[in-house]
Each structure stands twice: as C-alpha cells, then as structure tokens.
Amino acid sequence: MDILVENVAALLTEQGFTVGTVESATGGLISHMITSLPGSSNFYKGSVVSYSNEIKSNVVGVNGGDLTRYGAVSAVVAEQMAAGGRRLLGVDFCLSDTGIAGPGGGSPEKPVGLFYLGLSCREGTYSREYHFSGDRSTNNQTAARTALGWLKDYLSGEWIPGKLQR
Amino acid sequence: MDILVENVAALLTEQGFTVGTVESATGGLISHMITSLPGSSNFYKGSVVSYSNEIKSNVVGVNGGDLTRYGAVSAVVAEQMAAGGRRLLGVDFCLSDTGIAGPGGGSPEKPVGLFYLGLSCREGTYSREYHFSGDRSTNNQTAARTALGWLKDYLSGEWIPGKLQR
C-alpha cells in the first residue's frame, strides 16, 4: 500500500474532512491511487476527469474565455478546476491538475513536463507551477504524488494558505 | 503498453467514435488505463468517478429513489450511470461500473466481488452482472479489463446490442 496515500487518509479521517479531484493530465491516476486504499470512500467522494476542454467548461465550470485566453494548461484553469470541483463534488478539499505529460503536445511556450496543480479549500484556491522532466508515466506519477503531498502539507500544518505562498 | 487499450484505441480512432467513463468501484482505473496511452485525448473525453451516492445522483443523474430501492451496486444504477455519463460527457460510448471490490462492504445478498458493468451507446443502454473472486486490486483490474473488452466486442462486431443479450 502507498505510504503517502495512507498518511493523507489518516490525516483526513482524523480531521473529519472529505476530498475530491478534478484531473486533466493525470487522467484518473490520483483518484485510482486514493481508491486503491480500502475504506477510502469514508473521505474520498469522487472525481471529474476533464480530459477535454468541453468537460472542463460544461461539467466543471471552467470559464470558456479563460480556456481560450490562457490555454488549458495554465494556473488560471488549474484554479478554476479546483474551485469548480470543490463546489460540484461537495468536498472540503479539491485537488486539480492540468499539464503536458508528453510525449506529444509540447510547444516552446508550454513544453512537455509543464504542470499546474490546484488546491481549493475553505481558505481559498491556490495553484503551483512545476516542470517535470520524466516520460509520460513518470510525469503523471510525479504530478499525482506532488498534489497529494501538497494536501498532506496542509493537513499536517506544514503549509498554511496565504502565509508561505499565494 | 496495454494491448487491450491499444486495440480499443485503434478501433475507436478507425471508426471516429469518442468514449467516456463513469466509475464507482474501479475509482478511476479505467480512465487511468486509457489515458496512459499517448494520444488518447483524440477519442477519450473524460470521466466522472462517482464514489459517493451524492455524486451519482447530483452529478451523473442517477435516480435517488432507485439508489435507495436497488442499492448503488445494481444493474439499474450501472445502466443509469452509463446513460447519464453518455449525456453529461457528450460521448458516443460510456462505460460504467459499480461493485464491491472488498475487502469490506460485502453482505449475504451482495457479496464482495459482485460487479455490474454498464455500456451506453446509440442503440441503447445495457448492463452485465459479474462475480469476481480476487482481492480488491484484482477485482478492480478485472472489472476494468472486462468493461474495455465489452467495448472492444462492440467495435469489432463481436457483440451486437439486443441480438446476443439484453
């Protein structure tokens, strides 16, 4: 069993919080990692895998103008995915990701390995930019573990929204 | 790379169809398997992982009365998940699953390993009942592969809706 998932699960259960995800590049991997843990339905409510722009806007509520203006792989969209998912799924925390896992889809402005992660909680909605350098599978695994690690940092008090970074 | 996913991807691409999933027990595994294939965004649009009854009814549109009457793990709910997902995600095919992967959650009427898979397509919406006998991970892997195999049978003409079974 995955020790990171077990630690997040223990913290969520202890504090009585629920979580959901809105995934793009990771394509359901975060959800799969969490639900591999027996009993995860006690704190995990579900996910939208918004692999297309239509699902990002029609289901999750990402602004269509922002998708055009900033592109699907952007901080703005990661934040709207997390905030929209928190509302839609009715959870205390929503994690999101949008990125270019590769091997295709990269450009000079947005190269393979560029990821934005989002986290929405009662204090607000936050995003972080990452540049991963692995292959498709490794980039997605790293993104998933980084998102779960961010939530763990919040739950363990190692990261305080608005204090240490935006 | 997974040969089953590659075969389904080739058939979908050849025939110009799109697919989405609504997952319960498998918790995003089907979506993760499909999106592990580079270029899958050409035919794969996304998923709702409806791990809670609230998400099944509020997001996917499963009837709340039917959830109470038949339970989340039932043919009726698998069919409504597939049909609701096909509408919500705007796809040609929607695969769904609901089951008891274990180790907990079983009962005499609905033992661990009971799964219902759903498939919604233009001809209608169908469900199938399975009894798997593995552990949590194996049951979910088997459910995911069986759902993808069902879609492959449709796309290759080996299964014709309404002809060989309901």
Let me know: does A91 contact A82? Beta carbons within 8 Å.
Answer: no
Strands (E) located in B11-151: 19-23, 44-50, 93-99, 114-121, 124-131
CA distance A80 to A71: 12
**Minimum CA–CA partner of A53 in chain B:** B45
pLDDT of residue B166: 46
- Output the average pLDDT for chain A: 97
ipTM of the complex: 0.96
From the list A26, A46, A102, the residue facing B55 with the nearest CB is A46
B32, B58, B136 member nearest A28 (Cβ) = B32
CA–CA min distance A1, chain B (Å): 11
User: Per-residue confidence at B162, pLDDT binned at 50, 70, 90?
Assistant: confident
Say whether A126 sits in a helix, a strand or coil: strand
pLDDT digits (tens, 9 = 90+) for B8-46: 999 999 999 999 999 999 999 999 999 999 999 999 999
Tell me: pLDDT of A165 over 60: no
Q: Is the CB of B59 less than 8 angstroms away from the CB of A49?
A: no
**What is the pLDDT at residue A166?**
46
Does B34 touch chain A if contact means CB atoms closer than 8 Å? yes
Task: Tell me which architecture the domain covering B3-155 has in CATH.
Answer: Alpha-Beta Complex (3.90)
Query: What ranges do the domains of chain A cover?
Result: 3-155
Average pLDDT over residues B130-138: 98
Q: Does B65 contact A at CB distance below 8 Å?
A: no
Q: Inspect the interface and report whether the beta carbons of A59 and B32 lie closer than 8 Å.
A: no
pTM: 0.97
Q: Phi first, then psi: what are they for A98, rounded to 5°? A: -145, 130
* Residue A1 pLDDT class (50, 70, 90 cuts): confident
Closest B-chain CA to A22:
B48
Model confidence over A60-89: pLDDT tens digits?
999 999 999 999 999 999 999 999 999 999
Q: Which of B35, B57, B33 is nearest to B44 (CA)?
A: B35
